[in-house]
Structure 1
Amino acid sequence: MLKQSFLTNIVIVWFLLTLLNDLDGLGRVDGNSILHLVNGTLGQSVMLSVHLPWADPSIVTWDFTNSSAGKKIQLCMKTRNNPADCISESGQRINLNLTDFSLEIQTLMKSDQGFYEVNARSEGVVHEEITELRVYERVSNLNIQIKDISTNGACNVSLSCSVENNSNLKYSWWRGSEEITTGGLHSVTDDGTTLEMSLDRHENKTIYNCTVKNPVSEETGRIDLAGPCNIGKDPNLQNKTQLHIGIAVAVITILIVILVAAIFVRKKQSKPNEAPNIEGTSEPAQYAAITRTSNARVQSQGHLCQLDASERQQSRGVQLTTIYDEIKFNPDVSTPMMPVQKGQEASANA
């Protein structure tokens, strides 16, 4: 009796192991369906593989059931010694690989998402596999924004992380290599899209990262809160710096005003010492020779005679002015006669 029970248990175990091996070949997803799961990227290509026990089955068919419509259609069929026949509605996007009978779908669209079932037969034996295809958009245009901030004492800030598409996304916040969860100074809300925190002004870790991913892609953005939170800056020191800059500007302005005033006064004082401007001519000074006769002792005054050069200047249109001077004679001082050239003497006697 005991021996019979032992043999029965061995048979049950063997049956369960065989069943599990079959399940592992197909794969189990979420504990509900026995199938392969393949994730595809919108606009790209995907290959749906199949594991047939024969190299040359008598017939292979691929059927498709759309996730939303629920209607099954036959995509491709291949019989032995005949070419593959795929539906024309898919155009050139669907190809059957005749080497391993896998199915290739190019330029994926959202409508390609659903269940793909392959049936193969050989010598009366049937082999079936099901593949679920899910199509996702790539994560793009990640943006981190400051929703709210207050810097009264500590810096209380709320961050928002968003992307362009919102299909099956997972959000996570990081500071360095540490993932942030709710607790302590941080709070993660709105399915991970919002991070709220309170930072001290002397905090040295101010860079936060937001990572968004889906089954086919991920993207990470960063923000540095040192500037918005004025972290590491002393408000009193900042005020003192601004005060010092204001004083320096005022002193420089006063010095410039004093310098300009000094230059103005100096120019004004130098004007009386300047030579008067003789209006009407810019010609050089004219010279005259003084002559006197032998009876100069009894004469009361002499006359000035212009040089011959005055006549040449008058011929050029220059207006000359004759200068007269009164000569005083001192009888007690004998003045020697000045030598006079012949031309000058003749001019004087005339």
Structure 2
Amino acid sequence: MDPNRSLSLGMLLFLSLAFELSYGTGRGVMDCSVIIQPLGSDTWLSLTNQINKSANKSVRILVTMATSRGSKTNKKIVSFDLTKGGYPDHLEDGYQFQPENLSLGILANRRENEGWYFVSLEENVSVQQFCMQLKLYEQVSTPEIKVLNKTQETENGTCSLMLACTVKKGDHVAYSWSDEAGTRLLSPANRSHLLYITLSNQHHDSIYNCTASNPVSSHSRTFDLWQECRREASKSSSWLPHTVAPLGVIIVIILIPTAVMMLKKQGKKTCQPPVEENSLTIYAQVQKSGPVEKKLDDDLTDQDPCTTIYVAATEPAPEPVQEPNPTTIYASVTLPES
């Protein structure tokens, strides 16, 4: 065997062994580039980004993947020998490899594709290596703004609101509040989704924006604070009609039966025949003159010389009821002459 060839093979084995050792122990201090991609999208990782142009002289490309930077267990993703060309020696399911530009593709990436990718390019007498960290973020949805608390002072015309801005989807979401002119209401360090603000009658800016964002997406929602305050004022001013209407219905329900009962009682009283009072005749003075022997069969048309004065008398009813004992009181009686 040629001594030079043996020396080259020995050197290659030594470098491979050194690479394996450094690959397992030195990756913790390796500077890894960060690649951010939306979750569920197609991702392509270039394997020649951070290596020199001598990569076309490489003999073999090996890519492994770990879920954490200090992990001792790596998954083999792709192994490709450039001298052979054609199809890779090994390609993990869910990945694609393009030998013409040395790129690794992930179609419709998933959470399990997130992690650290370690790439090594083995040449005849050297080994180059670098790593990439793939971060996947779910895109944020359009935020929703809800009123958590509202206080309205009618005396000074101020309206205080506690607002909450939330999203249904999204990873590592940061929130920011701004007015219609774009001025931030909170400091950049404050990424709270809550906003407490007080408006007065002299406050003209009432439209505010909440922006929810993460490294791969951003969406905003506008909110009119004065409209919310006016809605509360209209509710408070219209409580009287809404309260009086049911109360009026209840009163009517109570009064109608009462009125019907009273009318029935009054009708019974009017239908009853009037109670006829006892006939009472009072003579203030009775005088009789002339002979006692006046014939009893005198004509009834003769004028009675006696004077009768009725002090009180009642009109007889259409059908008078005969009283058992009528009472007659004589104020003065003159006896006939003997």
Supply the RMSD in Å over aligned alpha carbons: 3.0
1:83 aligns with 2:86: yes
Task: Report the CA distance between 1:130 and its aligned residue.
Answer: 0.2
Where does residue 178 of structure 1 map in the other structure? 183
> For the Cα contact (< 8 Å) 1:171–1:193, is it kept in 2?
yes
> For the Cα contact (< 8 Å) 1:95–1:104, is it kept in 2?
yes
> For the Cα contact (< 8 Å) 2:30–2:131, is it kept in 1?
no
Where does residue 227 of structure 2 map in the other structure? 227
1:49 aligns with 2:51: no
Where does residue 192 of structure 1 map in the other structure? 192
Instruction: Kindly provide the amino acid, as one letter, of the partner of residue 78 in structure 1.
Output: F
Match of 2:36 among 28, 39, 61: 39
Match of 2:159 among 155, 170, 173: 155
CA gap 1:56/1:98 in 2 versus in 1, 3 angstroms: farther
Q: Deviations over 1:231-280 (max 9, x none)?
A: 9x99xxx99xx9xxxxxxxxxxxxxxxxxxxxxxxxxxxxxxxxxxxxxx
**Stretches of structure 1 lacking an aligned partner (at least 5 in a row):** 1-31, 183-187, 243-350
Aligned residues: 199
> For the Cα contact (< 8 Å) 1:86–1:94, is it kept in 2?
no
Q: Deviations over 1:280-328 (max 9, x none)?
A: xxxxxxxxxxxxxxxxxxxxxxxxxxxxxxxxxxxxxxxxxxxxxxxxx
> For the Cα contact (< 8 Å) 1:77–1:84, is it kept in 2?
no
Secondary structure class of the residue paired with 1:55: helix
Task: Report the CA distance between 1:43 and its aligned residue.
Answer: 1.0
Equivalent residue runs for 1:334-349 within 5 Å: none
CA gap 1:212/1:116 in 2 versus in 1, 3 angstroms: same
> For the Cα contact (< 8 Å) 1:155–1:199, is it kept in 2?
yes
Output the TM-score relative to the length of structure 1: 0.52
> For the Cα contact (< 8 Å) 1:173–1:210, is it kept in 2?
yes
Where does residue 146 of structure 2 map in the other structure? 145
Output the TM-score relative to the length of structure 2: 0.53
> For the Cα contact (< 8 Å) 1:47–1:104, is it kept in 2?
yes
Secondary structure class of the residue paired with 2:109: coil
Where does residue 343 of structure 1 map in the other structure? none
Secondary structure class of the residue paired with 2:230: coil
Percent identity for Structure 1 against Structure 2: 21
Distance in 2 (alpha carbons) for counterparts of 1:113 and 1:124: 32
> For the Cα contact (< 8 Å) 1:76–1:84, is it kept in 2?
no
CA gap 1:163/1:228 in 2 versus in 1, 3 angstroms: same
Q: Which has the higher contact order (CA 8 A, sep 6+)?
A: 2
Where does residue 102 of structure 1 map in the other structure? 103
Q: Deviations over 1:42-98 (max 9, x none)?
A: 1111111132432241101111112499430111111122334265652xx311121
1:126 aligns with 2:130: no
Task: Report the CA distance between 1:129 and its aligned residue.
Answer: 1.2
Task: Report the CA distance between 1:166 and its aligned residue.
Answer: 4.8
Instruction: Kindly provide the amino acid, as one letter, of the partner of residue 134 in structure 1.
Output: K
**Stretches of structure 2 lacking an aligned partner (at least 5 in a row):** 1-28, 242-338
Instruction: Kindly provide the amino acid, as one letter, of the partner of residue 85 in structure 2.
Output: N
Distance in 1 (alpha carbons) for counterparts of 2:161 and 2:31: 47
Distance in 1 (alpha carbons) for counterparts of 2:224 and 2:217: 24
Distance in 1 (alpha carbons) for counterparts of 2:32 and 2:130: 7
Q: Deviations over 1:138-158 (max 9, x none)?
A: 001411111111111311001
